[in-house]
């Protein structure tokens, strides 16, 4: 029987094995492991890739988000109790970064076809206290930025991007991560650009924000033993930075491979009990971090695929407002977010899938 894992990181990273070995050796022998040349190089490469003025490496993607909000608090642009608009169906990290800073997340229903925040629902959630929108380009697809930009401008809201899942995607020829005031990236191993451990980054056009974040991430200090802020420690390892510089070179190629697999799934799968995602008109607006289908009998479909050797995952089984950690939010009614969490199933999609694996996945789903 076939055995197709959801993701095979050994295979994916194996493609860079000799380059990665060289990089690890170089850093190991250099005697310099934090805040060095490798960070500087990767930060510059990512900044030029997305066309941002500043990139700051961080320990992970959650820290990148937390640092953005923390810096706005330190700069007096946000204050305790301010409200931040965020999609109701995002990964918990987006919400954690808001509550961690004593800001209030205001959950907004997504669009059932794109899974992204529905701009039509944002206005009704704006109050006197609303100060920011955190957009999440979920599953790799850019949000409806025309409408969201207009809402942010009209209401003078900060626009922040959680770009953990959409590195390389474009809107109007601009890369995600450069579409708002500041953006967070995650290089968690399973992301489209993955490190061999935890890693993340912040990107911004603002020099002031960049300097503040750099200081906060380094114990609140930009001069050794002088602490301007009550900071934290969240830095990108030199080894991870060196590996990310190598893998960034092939990101576009890998994202294109993902697009071609998504296209094959969408044209090949014709099982009427399964709802497929739309291929957007602008193919550059999606990098297919995940290929997510919907089924009324999601668990039955997952079991059937498992029996046939195809591993699937659910992103995500429980929405944030129904998590014990956010019991204060459980009273709100978010039927679309709940429907999504009940019906979604992610099927394998990554650059190392072979033609015959893709065909087998399509055939197996069609026989369901
Ligand atoms: C992965 C992810 C994060 C967090 O990134 P880590 O590097 O795991 O901390 C944040 N937001 C979204 C939407 C993610 O998918």
- 128-140 pLDDT, tens digit each: 999 999 999 999 9
The kind and range of the H/E element at 242 are helix 238-248
State the closest ligand 1 atom to the C-alpha of 198, by its place in the atom list counted from 1. Answer: 7
Task: Answer yes or no: is the C-beta of 186 below 6 A from any ligand 1 atom.
Answer: yes
Find the 364 Cα to ligand 1 centroid distance in Å: 31
C-alpha 136 – ligand 1 centre gap (Å): 10
What secondary structure does DSSP assign to 247-281, as a single string? Answer: HHTTHHHHHHHHHHHHHHHHHH---TTSBPPPPPS
Region 112-126 average pLDDT: 97
Region 330-348 average pLDDT = 95
Q: Which residues pair with 44 in a beta bridge?
A: none
Output the pLDDT for position 282: 97
Residue whose structure tokens are 């050794």: 224
Does the beta carbon of 91 sit less than 6 angstroms from any atom of ligand 1?
Answer: yes
User: Per-residue pLDDT for 110 more than 90?
Assistant: yes
Q: Which residue has the CA at smallest separation from atom 5 of ligand 1?
A: 61
Burial class (CB in 10 A: 0-12, 13-18, 19+), 253: exposed
pLDDT of residue 154: 98
- Express each pLDDT in 274-293 by its tens digit: 999 999 999 999 999 999 99
Give the mean pLDDT of 266-281: 97
Which pLDDT score, from 0 to 100, does residue 66 have? Answer: 98
pLDDT grade for 191, boundaries at 50, 70 and 90: very high
Question: Which stretches of 288-358 are assigned E, i.e. beta strand?
Answer: 291-294, 344-347
C-alpha 125/C-alpha 109 separation (Å) is: 10
Pairwise CA distance, residues 153 & 137, whole Å: 19
- In this prediction, residue 328 carries a pLDDT of 86
Q: Cα(81) to centroid of ligand 1, in Å? A: 24
pLDDT band at 252 (very low <50, low <70, confident <90, very high): very high
Q: How many Å apart are CA 83 and CA 103, to the nearest integer?
A: 6
Residue 101: per-residue pLDDT: 98
- Ligand 1 proximity of 116 Cβ (cutoff 6 Å): no
Taking residues 191-199, report their average pLDDT: 98
pLDDT at 330: 75
Buried-exposed string 135-153: b where 16+ CB fall within 10 A, e elsewhere: bbbbbbbbbbbeebbebbe
Is residue 329 very low, low, confident or very high in pLDDT (cuts 50, 70, 90)? confident
Question: For residue 6, is pLDDT > 80?
Answer: yes
- Distance in Å, CA 185 to ligand 1 centroid: 8
d(CA 95, ligand 1 centre) in Å = 11
* Position in ligand 1 atom list of the atom nearest CA 97: 10
Residue 94 pLDDT > 90, yes or no? Answer: yes
For position 115, what pLDDT does the model report?
A: 98
Q: Is the CB of 176 under 6 A from ligand 1?
A: no
Q: Per DSSP, what are the bridge partners of residue 83?
A: 104, 130
Q: 272 CA distance to ligand 1 centroid (A)? A: 33
pLDDT of residue 326 exceeding 90: yes
Beta strand 104-108 pairing with 83-87: parallel
Q: Is the minimum distance from the CB of 57 to ligand 1 under 6 angstroms?
A: no
Question: Which atom of ligand 1 is least distant from the CA of 199?
Answer: 7
Name the residue of 57, 60, 61 to mutate for ligand 1: max ligand atoms within 8 A of Cβ: 61
Kindly report the CA angle at 317 between 168 and 349, in degrees rounded to 5? Answer: 40
Tell me the pLDDT band of 1, cut-offs 50, 70 and 90.
confident
Distance CA 168, CA 312 (A): 24
DSSP 3-state of 333:
coil
| Residues in contact with 40: Cβ distance below 8 Å, sequence separation at least 6, in sequence order | none
Helices and strands (DSSP H and E) totals, the chain: 12, 11
User: Exposed, middle or buried, 288 (CB in 10 Å: 0-12/13-18/19+)?
Assistant: buried
The string of pLDDT tens digits covering residues 153-179 is: 999 999 999 999 999 999 999 999 999
Q: What share of the chain has pLDDT > 90, as a percent?
A: 98
Among the residue ranges 186-190, 300-304, 325-329, the one predicted with the least confidence is 325-329
Mean pLDDT of the chain: 97
């Amino acid at each position: 029987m076939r055995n197709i894992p959801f993701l095979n990181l050994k295979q994916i990273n194996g493609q860079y094995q000799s380059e990665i070995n060289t990089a690890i050796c170089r850093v190991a022998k250099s005697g310099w492991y934090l805040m060095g040349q490798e960070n500087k190089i990767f930060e510059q490469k990512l900044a030029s890739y997305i066309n941002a003025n500043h990139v700051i490496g961080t320990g992970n993607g959650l820290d990148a988000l937390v640092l953005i909000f923390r810096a706005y608090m330190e700069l007096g642009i946000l204050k305790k109790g301010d409200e931040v608009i965020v999609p109701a169906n995002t990964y918990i990290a987006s919400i954690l970064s808001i509550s961690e800073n004593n800001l209030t997340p205001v959950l907004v229903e997504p669009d059932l076809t794109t899974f992204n925040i529905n701009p039509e629902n944002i206005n009704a959630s704006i109050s006197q206290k609303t100060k920011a929108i955190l957009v999440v380009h979920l599953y790799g697809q850019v949000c409806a930025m025309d409408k969201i930009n207009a809402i942010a401008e009209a209401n003078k809201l900060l626009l922040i991007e959680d770009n953990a899942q959409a590195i390389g995607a474009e809107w109007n020829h601009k890369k995600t991560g450069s579409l708002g005031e500041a953006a967070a990236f995650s290089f968690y191993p399973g992301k489209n650009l993955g490190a061999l451990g935890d890693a993340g980054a912040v990107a911004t056009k603002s020099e002031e924000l960049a300097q503040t974040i750099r200081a906060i991430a380094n114990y609140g200090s930009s001069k050794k033993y002088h602490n301007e802020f009550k900071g934290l420690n969240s830095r990108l390892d030199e080894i991870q930075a060196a590996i990310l510089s190598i893998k960034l070179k092939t990101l576009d190629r890998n994202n294109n491979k993902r697009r071609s697999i998504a296209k094959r799934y969408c044209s090949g799968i014709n099982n009427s009990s399964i709802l497929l995602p739309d291929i957007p008109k602008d193919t550059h607006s999606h990098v297919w971090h995940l290929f997510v289908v919907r089924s009324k009998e999601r668990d039955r479909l997952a079991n059937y695929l498992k029996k046939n050797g195809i591993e699937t995952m659910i992103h995500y089984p429980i929405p944030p407002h129904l998590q014990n950690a956010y019991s204060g939010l459980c009273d709100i009614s978010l039927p679309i977010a709940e429907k999504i969490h009940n019906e979604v199933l992610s099927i394998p999609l990554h650059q190392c899938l072979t033609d015959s694996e893709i065909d087998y996945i399509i055939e197996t789903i069609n026989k369901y």
